[in-house]
Every structure is written in structure tokens, then in C-alpha cells.
Chains A and B, each alone.
Chain A
Amino acid sequence: MENLLAKSPETRTLPNGPATATPVLRLTDIEKIYQTKTIETVALNRVNMTINRGEFVSIMGPSGCGKSTLLSLMGLLDEPTSGTIEIDGRAVQSFSDRELAGLRNLKIGFVFQSYHLINDLAVLDNVELPLLYRSGMSGKERRQRALNALDKVGLSARTTHFPSQLSGGQRQRVAIARALVGGPEIILADEPTGNLDSVMGEEIMALLLDLNRNEGTTIVMVTHDEQQARKTQRLIRLFDGSQVG
């Protein structure tokens, strides 16, 4: 844990070239079973996959096939019933809640279908949020990083706006800036274009592709859109909780 946290994004050099074969996230024999008194639902069944640094991977499958569950497990928001998750070569199953929270903060950025921005906070404050949970960073530095992230998504002019004053596409851009601001190893995007019309969806997709190509950000994206999935480097298909391609 110490080594993982010590290797903070502030000091990490992001790859600028093509994807290397360094695994950043590895899932081995992952099972996720939801159990009630009367019924047992297998959400994921012996899933194995490796995400390499700099990759852009999309995950597709019909509704209820376990895509979002898989993303939650990758994001350390949930625990598998069995199997191991490794981040940067370290298995995380023995990590405490506090250690997992620290790991999420440093290594992972999330983009959600419904943005999940905090309506009471201005755009800049929303983007700064992940940095609040990082000690030893001055307010000035936080602000500068948030401004840089907003600049990357083309929303420098909207820093003082509130989410309700933005379009869906702009909100998702803010969400992407928030995911980027901490300099994570990997961005997990759960249907990031799902709530947007095709034009805005294309804009968001172009932005993600740009981040992957030019910033070297590793991205795993759950999508229903075959066309967008084809633009990514690798496509993983799920069906009834199992990996089928």
C-alpha cells in the first residue's frame, strides 16, 4: 500500500507514446454473486482481464449482463465474491476501507452516465473535489490543477457556473475534468454518452479519445454504442456475467 500511494500522480510521468504492455489493472477469476433469502444472482462469472497502461478499452453487452458491476469492482467501489483485483501489481483484497479510499483518490477517476455533479457547488469546486481528499496540497495548487483540467475539456470560461446552468454535454465535460484532475492511472467511464444526443455524444467521445492518445490516460468505458466501442483499442463483450469476447 505504501509503495502504491507513494507513487502519486503528482510525480508520475504519463506515457506520451503508444500503449505499453504494462498491466495497470488485472482481474483474475472474478465472481460477483448477489444473494437474497430466496434467490442467488450471479452478476459476474469467472471474469479474467488485464488492462494495460495507456489502453482504451470498451466493455459492451446487453442490459443486466454485469458491465456496471464490473466497472464498480475495477473502481474498488465494491468487492468481488471471489477472485483477485490487482492495481499496479498489488492485490487489494486485504486493503482497509481507508486504504481503498486512498487508492481510488490517487489511481482512479470516474465518469458516470448521469454526471453526478454536486449541484450546490460551482463548476470549479466540483472539479476540485477529488483534491480535497489529498493532504498537503495548497488551495492555490488545487485551483490551478482544476483550471488546467477544465481547460483540457474546453470549459475554462464556465468555472463559476453551476451544473444546472450547463447543457448535458457541458456537464459531462465537467465530470471528465473532475475525473482527470487528480492525474489518475485509469479513468472508468460508465456509459459517458448515454444521456447525451448524438452530437454531444460524439464530442465527449472525441474528448476521451484525445485524452487517451495525447495524455496517455488509460480508459475503460462501458457503452451500449457499437460505433463508439469500435473507436477504442479493444472491445470486451459480456453476456450473462461471463466474458464472451
Chain B
Amino acid sequence: MTDKYGVLLHFKIMIISYLKIAWKVLLRRKFFTAISLFGISFTLMILLVVYAFYDHTVGPHTPEKKVDRLVFVNRMTVGFKDGGQNNGTASYGFLERYVRPLRTPETVSISSYFGSTAAYVGNQKLDVDLKYTDGQFWQVLDFDFLEGRPYTVREVGEGAHVVVINERTSRAYFGTPRGVVGRTLETDRVRYRVVGVVRNVPGMRFNSYADAWVPITTGTFDAKDQGLFGNCLAIMLARRPADIPAIQAEFDQAIKRVPVPDPKTQDKVSSSASTLLASLVRWVNNDNGPNDGVRQLLGKVLAFALLFMLLPALNLVNINVSRILERTSEIGVRKAFGATSGTLIAQFLVENILLTLLGGLLGLGLAAGMLALIDGSGFIPYTTLTLNPRIFASGLLLSVLFGLLSGVYPAYKMSKLHAVQALKGSSN
């Protein structure tokens, strides 16, 4: 038996023994175990639901699967000399002049934000959220085509009246999710030939979301328009994630060349090329400054999450300390027979982590139920919040963190009990 094998074997034996004890202890104090599990699982459920929303909004999901390579330009700010400023979404002309020519990105796409249009099925009005895009849109994003294809750069150049629709529109307009390629969709009195059907895109992905996507050349967008504000955004695809700073630097140089629309009253034009998360944070903060605010936001979220976990963790600390008092005899015996303080701390942490992992699994179950409820409510269009492996792993990680947070102090206190006093503590 090698030393390494021996150490591993011993570790395994210890862990099994600890788990055996931990399980018995949990069963012995059913009421406290139930309270602890409730506190842990409920807290984790909330955190996991919040994280699921976060993941759903900025995680690598269809059609923004390559989110780590995407850079967005969607906000414009014009500063006034008196200190005021105008904020809004960018114009098509601005994006064509200053973003399209950038050399660092692999591909640049320009599209509008979706707008509501009306189609009719018989006498029934059907709201169709329509988005105008260029042909590159389908290259930077990864839509899930159920049938057909995206329209091409050439079709966009020719101003072809073609449309890609989502599954929901196909069902609602044509009565079927399949076999509609080649048929005609009329919305806001404009007729388009269907070339493809894609899976529904969640409403939270508002940079790519729509019910129907049509060539930008079929709209009223003017590349020569000198105005800075409009209803468009640019999505750039970097060759690799590490290229993003270079793209941002090139964009920052480009934005310096943008003339101030009215030099008498205005003195500054700013915009930013941001990752998906940063673009959302900028949107919420209404800020195009040099700091994207992501770090501050993550700091606040982390502080909130820790604070949120602190309450059940303190409750667990309290319960753990009282559990220790019941187990003084065991602690004394273990010390007498050779347990070191370190071994006892490890034992108690294993027990506590087992409890919190159980709570974590319960929390994952509760979170799955809650997410199914949210999905089913139709509160956010086409939202499919799920417990994907990232969220599952986060839940387990949080549980272990919980176990450590609530176990370290009681374990330390336990290990410091004097063996002689501990043996006098109780009898069995």
C-alpha cells in the first residue's frame, strides 16, 4: 500500500464514519433539522431563482450563445454645456458610419429594436413584434431554425421582402409550426415571404428578441441620416473573447470623431461598446461613462446574497452550538481516543455540509418548482427558466459555502472543549 493510497483510504474511512454520525444526528433532532433545512432551502431557492434570471438574461443561451464574444453598441449620450445630457438609443446612420467600418470585429451587425405591428388572422388581430436586421445579424447570433433558413446579406441588399418568424407566430398565423416556408405573412399591411421559422426567443433577450425578423432595407432606415438618436443597435462578434478590449478601444477612437450636433449648446458625444451584461447595466444606470458599472453591481449583488444567506446561517450557527452541548460526551471520548482539534473540526464541518447539501438539494427542487411556475405564468414572453448545469453547480457551491459559513465557529468551539470537562458533561 503506497502512502498516498493509505492517506486516501484513511480519508475515505473518516468521511464515511462522519457521514454515518451526521445522518444519525440529523434524524435524532428532527424538528431542528426541519427548521434548518427550511431556512437553507428557502434561501437557496430565492438565490437560485435570482441567478436563473441572471443566467437567462446574460448567460450563453440561444441566440446569444457566443455571448463571451459579443459586443453591443446601443446607447448614445449627447452632453450639453449647461451640464444636462440627452440619452437614447442609437440611430441607424450613426451605426453605419461609425460602427460598421470597424476592423477589429469579425462581423458587425446592425438592427432595429423590435416594434409592435398588427397582423390579422381572419378578423382576429395578432400582435407581431417586428425587428429589422441586416444579413450579418444571422451570422453573429445563433438562432435555432426549425425549418428554412435566414435571409442573406444579398437579399437584404436587394430589399427582398422576406421574413424569419418564430414558432409562436407560425402557429398563431398559419396554425402550424412547420411547413410554412414560402407562404406569406402580412403585417402592418406589408407582405413578406417566409424563409425560415426559429424557436421563440425570450423577451429578456431584447437585443435579439422579436416575433418576426425582416431585412432592414424594407424599413425606413436611412444610412445618410446625420442624427445620432434612433431605434437601432449594433452587435459585434469578436474573433475571440480576448479581442473585446481591442474592439472597445477601436470604437472609443471612432466615437471621438463624431461631431457634436449643435456646438453652440452641446459639447460632448459619447457611446460605449459593451458586453451584454455591461450594456444592460449601462442601460439601467443610464450611463455611458468610462466605467461600465459591472464591478459595482456584482459587488452589491454579492453583498446582498451574503447578507441574505447570513440570517439562516446564523440560525444554523445557533442550532449547531446547542447541538454541541448535547454531544460533549462524544467529543470527550473522541479526544481521549486520539482525535485532534483539526479532526473534530473536519468532522463537524462534514456533518454541517451534509446538512446544507441536503438543504441545497431541497432548495434546487423548490427552485425548479418556482421556475416552472414563472415560466407557466407567461409573465415574460417565451421565458424558459430552467435549472441548467451552471445553476445546479451554483446551488451546490452555495450549499457548501453555507455549510462552511455556519459550521466553522461551532466546529472551532467544539474542538476547544477540554476533554476532561467534556467527559464530565454527560453520561450514556
Contact = CB atoms under 8 A, between A and B. Distances in A.
* A and B associate: yes
A120 B337 contact: no
Contacts, number: 94
Contacts of A116: 329, 332-333, 423, 427-428
Interface string B332-350: 1111111111110000000
Interface residues on B, range: 20 to 34
Nearest to B427: A114
A78 interface: yes
B190 interface: no
B340 A104 contact: no
Given A116-B329, A121-B20, A75 B336 contact: yes
A217 B17 CA distance: 28
A101 B340 contact: yes
The interface centre, meaning the residue of A78, A119, A133, A134 with most chain B CB atoms within 10 A of its CB, is A133
Nearest to A142: B13
Nearest to A98: B340
Interface residues of A, number: 38
A104 B420 contact: no
A21 interface: no
Interface in B387-428: 418-420, 423, 427-428
Contact of A77 (B9, B20, B28, B336): B336
B11 to A, nearest CB: 9
A114 to B, nearest CB: 3
Given A119-B428, A120-B25, A139-B13, A134 B338 contact: yes
A240 to B, nearest CB: 20
B428 A115 contact: yes
A78 B420 contact: yes
A237 B19 CA distance: 45
B314 interface: no
Interface string A54-89: 000000000000000000100101100000000000
Nearest to B334: A129
Interface of A: 72, 75, 77-78, 97-98, 101-102, 104-106, 109-110, 112, 114-121, 125, 128-130, 132-139, 142, 163, 178, 182
Given A114-B427, A135-B6, 5 more contacts: A77-B423, A101-B339, A104-B336, A125-B17, A136-B1
